[in-house]
Amino acid sequence: MQKGIDYPGVSVVFFCHDGNGNYLLHKRSKNARDEQGRWDMGGGGLEFGDTVIEKLKEEIMEEFCAQVKKVEFLGYRDVHRKQNGAKTHWVALDFRVLIDPSTVRIGEPHKFDDLGWFKIEALPQPLHSQFAKALDQYKSRLI
């Protein structure tokens, strides 16, 4: 059985920021699972036995090589989409996370082509298909 396909998967999703209104996004490489060439926030799936906050910190360190300074829970979203022709369902636990921008670098070069800091009002294109939905839900809390 596959999480997200045979039963809902749970993921932590993070909007990392520098405390000055800039958000860190990564550009998905040709080796990414899907949506190659699109800009995205970070995230990762929970495995049995993981705690949410520890998984959040682990994923931020893996993806961006950054320590978490402050965590704010934004809410959750049901994410329904198709991947390789199969319907998927994930429950995304969304967080706004303060990190130290001086430590940031690409931690998974096989998955990411680039990193960049952006204002919410000036995001790069194209964005991951789920980014707009998350932005609609949380924009007032991200600005």
Query: What is the rounded average pLDDT for all residues in the chain?
Result: 96
When pLDDT is averaged across residues 32-60 and rounded to a whole number, the result is 96
CA distance 70 to 27: 24
CA distance 70 to 19: 10
Question: Is residue 1 domain-resident?
Answer: no
Query: At 37, which amino acid appears?
Result: G
Burial class (CB in 10 A: 0-12, 13-18, 19+), 29: middle
Question: Is residue 87 domain-resident?
Answer: yes
For the chain, first and last CA: distance in Å? 40
- Residue 45 in this model has a pLDDT that exceeds 90: yes
Question: Is residue 4 domain-resident?
Answer: no
pTM (2 d.p.): 0.95
Q: In the numeric block, which tokens belong to residue 53?
A: 């906050």
Domain extent at residue 25: 9-142
Q: What is the CATH number of the domain that holds 134?
A: 3.90.79.10
Question: Is residue 23 domain-resident?
Answer: yes
- Residue 143 in this model has a pLDDT that exceeds 90: no
Question: Is residue 42 domain-resident?
Answer: yes
Q: Provide the domain count of the chain.
A: 1
- Residue 83 in this model has a pLDDT that exceeds 90: no
Question: Is residue 3 domain-resident?
Answer: no
Q: What are the tens digits of pLDDT across the range 87-139?
A: 999 999 999 999 999 999 999 999 999 999 999 999 999 999 999 899 999 99
